[in-house]
């Protein structure tokens, strides 16, 4: 009996079920028992395991056979990107075009900076955004050939295109783009180009600012502060300020040591807080003594005039009395 004839009698002989499916005879027909991840009459359909959108926090789902893979943003990890990573960052791509300076301003309005790239893995992730010639935060606008990231990170990783940076144009090439189709290679170009851009918001945070003796923070105290945040201190009543009264949240999540010193007032003043130094106080005391002297002199002069007036009237009365008698 030919194979085709046999298949008509025993349909499972030809094993019509794909991808390891098990064929079950059903009268003159058959049905396939499909392994997980497949469906269809002959198990020909690869089930989309990403249909339920299992990846969290902006992760991208890649369908696998009976499984899926989540490509997480740099700031998240875990099988479904459910775990936040302290010290990472959230990356945002903007397709509308700006000059480098305007792009940085827009990033700051989103509480971020133009993106820094600190590792090959981070570069690979940015390349996956699939956009050519996008602004990064790297630039040498302050000092020629001294490239710095706008978010304050150190230049610990470099991915320059061959023969770059070259400062080719006479007008200057002080701002850096990343080129996705060339593995994200970097190129310095004029900052006035209008290009898409990538912002990165750091998740490094500073905790409560350091306490300063005899001082308090101005404004509402928060439990966490973004990097580059600045807080201001004010001396308590009865103390006067020396040095700068601010502290900044550094890129590593620590606070700058406050320089402010609050010194107890040694001289009594009319102010609730002591803002008058000794020289000012001596000047004020001298002015007060001068004012008291002028007031005292004025009172004496007024008293003498009053006495003279009353004394003149007495002489006249005595003269009248003598003429009467």
CA distance 241 to 271: 14
Whether residues 97 and 163 share a domain: the answer is yes
155 and 226 together in one domain: no
What the block records as the tokens of 284 is 């004020």
Model confidence pTM above 0.75: no
Distance CA 104, CA 197 (A): 9
pLDDT along the chain (325 residues), means of 10: 59 89 90 89 88 79 84 76 64 92 91 88 84 90 91 89 78 88 93 94 78 93 79 94 92 86 75 48 55 62 67 47 35
Partnered with residue 69 across adjacent β-strands are: 62
Domain boundary among 180, 201, 222: 201
C-alpha gyration radius of the chain: 42
Give the count of domains, the chain. 4
Determine which helix (DSSP H) or strand (DSSP E) holds 315, and give its type and residue range.
helix 278-324
Does residue 299 lie in a domain region?
A: no
Whether residues 209 and 111 fall in one domain: no
CA distance 49 to 135: 35
DSSP 76-98: EESTTS-EE-TT-EEEEEEEEEE
Domain of residue 34 covers 3-46
Q: Are residues 213 and 162 in the same domain?
A: no
pLDDT at 293: 56
Q: Kindly state the DSSP code that residue 218 receives in the 8-state scheme.
A: S
Q: Are residues 284 and 238 in the same domain?
A: yes
Joined tokens for residue 324: 């009467």
**93 and 81, same structural domain?**
no
Same domain, 197 and 127: yes
Q: What pLDDT is recorded for position 2?
A: 52
Query: Of 199, 176, 200, which is closest to residue 189 (Cα–Cα)?
Result: 176
We report the CATH number of the domain holding residue 274 as 2.10.70.10
Q: Which two tokens stand for residue 89?
A: 């960052």
Q: Do residues 90 and 98 make contact, with C-beta atoms less than 8 angstroms apart?
A: no
**Residue 280 DSSP SS3:** helix
298 domain-assigned: no
């Amino acid at each position: 009996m030919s194979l085709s004839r046999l298949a008509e009698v025993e349909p499972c002989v030809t094993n019509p079920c794909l991808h390891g499916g098990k064929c079950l005879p059903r009268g003159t027909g058959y049905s396939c028992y499909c392994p997980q991840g497949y469906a269809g009459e002959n198990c020909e359909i690869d089930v989309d395991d990403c249909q339920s959108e299992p990846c969290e926090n902006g992760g991208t789902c890649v369908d696998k056979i009976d499984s899926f893979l989540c490509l997480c943003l740099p700031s998240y990890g875990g099988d479904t990107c459910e775990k936040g990573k302290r010290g990472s960052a959230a990356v945002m791509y903007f397709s509308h075009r700006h000059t480098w300076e305007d792009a940085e301003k827009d990033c700051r309005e989103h509480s971020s900076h133009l993106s820094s790239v600190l590792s090959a893995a981070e570069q690979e992730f940015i390349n996956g955004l699939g956009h050519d010639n996008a602004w990064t935060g790297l630039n040498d606008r302050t000092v020629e050939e001294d490239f710095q990231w706008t978010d304050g990170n150190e230049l610990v990783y470099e991915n320059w295109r061959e023969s770059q940076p070259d400062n080719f144009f006479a007008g200057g090439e002080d701002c850096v783009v990343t080129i996705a189709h060339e593995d994200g290679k970097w190129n310095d170009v004029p900052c006035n180009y209008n290009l898409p851009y990538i912002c990165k918001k750091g998740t490094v945070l500073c905790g409560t600012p350091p306490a300063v003796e005899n001082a308090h923070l101005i404004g509402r105290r928060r439990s966490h502060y973004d990097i580059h945040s600045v807080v201001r201190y004010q001396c308590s009543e009865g103390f006067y300020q020396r040095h700068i009264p601010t502290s900044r949240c550094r890129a590593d999540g620590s606070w700058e040591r406050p320089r402010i010193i609050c010194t107890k007032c040694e001289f009594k003043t009319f102010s609730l807080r002591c803002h008058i130094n000794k020289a000012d106080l001596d000047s004020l005391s001298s002015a007060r003594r001068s004012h008291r002297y002028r007031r005292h002199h004025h009172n004496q002069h007024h008293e003498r005039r009053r006495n003279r007036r009353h004394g003149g009237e007495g002489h006249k009365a005595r003269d009248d009395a003598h003429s009467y008698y």
